[in-house]
Amino acid sequence: MAHEVRAVVATAKGEPVRVETISVPDPGRGEALVRVQACGVCHTDLHYREGGINDDFPFLLGHEAAGIVEAVGDDVTDIAPGDFVVLNWRAVCGECRACKRGRPHLCFATHNATQKMTLDGVELSPALGIGAFAEKTLVAAGQATKVDPAARPEAVGLLGCGVMAGLGAAINTGQVGPADTVAVFGCGGVGDAAIAGARIAGARTIIAVDLDARKLELASSFGATHTVDASQVDPVEAIRELTGGFGADIVVEAVGNPKVFEQAFHARDLAGTVVQVGVPNPEMRIDIPMIDFFGRGGALKPSWYGDCLPSRDFPLYTDLYLQGRLDLDAFVSETIPLDGVEEAFHKMERGEVLRSVVVIEGSA
Ligand SMILES: NC(=O)c1ccc[n+]([C@@H]2O[C@H](COP(=O)([O-])OP(=O)(O)OC[C@H]3O[C@@H](n4cnc5c(N)ncnc54)[C@H](O)[C@@H]3O)[C@@H](O)[C@H]2O)c1
Ligand SMILES: [Zn+2]
Ligand SMILES: [Zn+2]
């Protein structure tokens, strides 16, 4: 039996998103049907609707979600109906080259649902293989990670993408430790999570960089020890000044902009690390003197999903949240209904929110 549910669809490049009734199949082998309770609006959803990721319209948007497992297909053993889960876009295969080398967080063949959700018979492309701005969605069972049901869905759902990407950019990819100086460019949901991660990891100095004073104020509340308004001063110079003239040990780029990447590159100390978590579009190029790449040493590391392993990291950060050591609630700027996503994109562009979170009525 297919389920007819309301969902947010992007039908064409740059067109406003619409709430449509889509068809979601019952779970087949290895799949799970999840009743979505909450789903955050991530900048990556906007990248999809702008055609910046690929042209596989129509997209079913939404991918930072928590909900309740409603049904599972054959051969699903890790989750059962009634479980509280956070959805992930890294259901590792266990069999690819990366998994076999003991690096499942780099899995090259992650699982998604095999069956397709459809709109008027047309197959939808779910954002990041999830598609959770919907009353129900169909995922691979490995995409649903059980966490402590005491957690608030609006808050822990954000671990499903942006907040995990930021935490992991600092903790997993950047390997921030207690003596480190850290700078984070871009203080949206992802950058602020990198700041929170650097604080959890015990960084000594955490410098937040943004063009928007409101964002810098929020960054301080997540743990930034210093702020730099890049609309007023040269951020590379400012970071050098704040780090004894040297530059930061780890610089996180959480904007997705080649100019910012170059600033991050030059704001590093010798042998420092740049972690790039902002998503570029296919036209972007970076121009860095090769002699500087070589001469300064260190590492330039892209960070997909904060190099997280959902089965390890989602329960961990949910516990830190429930213990009051990671304020996931502070990322939730507002809760909105399904038909508020287009307006939420505009609020994101105007810099008014960290995360607007869709809450599906009657799903609790
Ligand atoms: N790598 C991953 O796994 C992953 C996961 C989720 C999101 N992302 C990406 O991370 C990026 C940030 O996402 P978000 O949801 O936090 O977006 P956001 O729009 O909420 O935040 C971006 C921030 O960057 C600031 N900014 C813009 N230009 C700047 C500049 N020149 N210098 C300094 N700051 C600048 C903005 O003012 C804003 O505060 C996006 O590109 C998103 O697609 C990556
Ligand atoms: Zn794999
Ligand atoms: Zn995202």
Question: What are 148-161's pLDDT values in tens digits?
Answer: 999 999 999 999 99
Q: Using the mean position of ligand 1's atoms as its centre, give its distance from the Cα of residue 28 in Å.
A: 36
Which ligand 1 atom minimizes the distance to the CA of 46? 43
- Whether residue 65 contacts residue 147, with contact meaning beta carbons closer than 8 Å, is answered with no
Report the C-alpha gap between 31 and 35 in whole angstroms.
13
Confidence of residue 320 (pLDDT cuts 50, 70, 90): very high
Report the C-alpha gap between 345 and 47 in whole angstroms.
10
Residues with CB under 6 A from ligand 1: 42-44, 47, 161-162, 165, 185-191, 209-212, 215, 230, 254-257, 260, 277-279, 303-305, 348, 351
Residue 119 is predicted with a pLDDT of: 98
Helices 235-242 and 258-266, packing angle to 10 deg: 30
- How large is the average pLDDT for residues 138-156? 98
Q: Using the mean position of ligand 1's atoms as its centre, give its distance from the Cα of residue 66 in Å.
A: 22
Confidence of residue 364 (pLDDT cuts 50, 70, 90): low
- Helices within the chain (DSSP H only): 43-49, 97-100, 153-156, 162-168, 189-200, 213-222, 235-242, 258-266, 290-296, 310-322, 341-349
Coil, strand or helix at 49: helix
Which residue type, as a one-letter code, is found at position 91? Answer: A
Residues 6+ apart with CB under 8 A from 9: 17, 18, 19, 20, 22, 58, 59, 60, 61, 119, 124
Which residue type, as a one-letter code, is found at position 222? Answer: F
Confidence of residue 115 (pLDDT cuts 50, 70, 90): very high
Report the C-alpha gap between 63 and 43 in whole angstroms.
11
Q: Which ligand is nearest to the CA of 39?
A: 3
Report the C-alpha gap between 298 and 159 in whole angstroms.
29
Q: Using the mean position of ligand 2's atoms as its centre, give its distance from the Cα of residue 18 in Å.
A: 35
- Whether residue 146 contacts residue 84, with contact meaning beta carbons closer than 8 Å, is answered with yes
Candidates 68, 72, 70, 37; CA nearest to 146 is: 68
Which ligand 1 atom minimizes the distance to the CA of 302? 1
Q: Report whether pLDDT(314) > 90.
A: yes
- Whether residue 187 contacts residue 255, with contact meaning beta carbons closer than 8 Å, is answered with no
Q: Using the mean position of ligand 2's atoms as its centre, give its distance from the Cα of residue 77 in Å.
A: 19
pTM: 0.96
Report the C-alpha gap between 82 and 53 in whole angstroms.
34
Which ligand 1 atom minimizes the distance to the CA of 353? 20
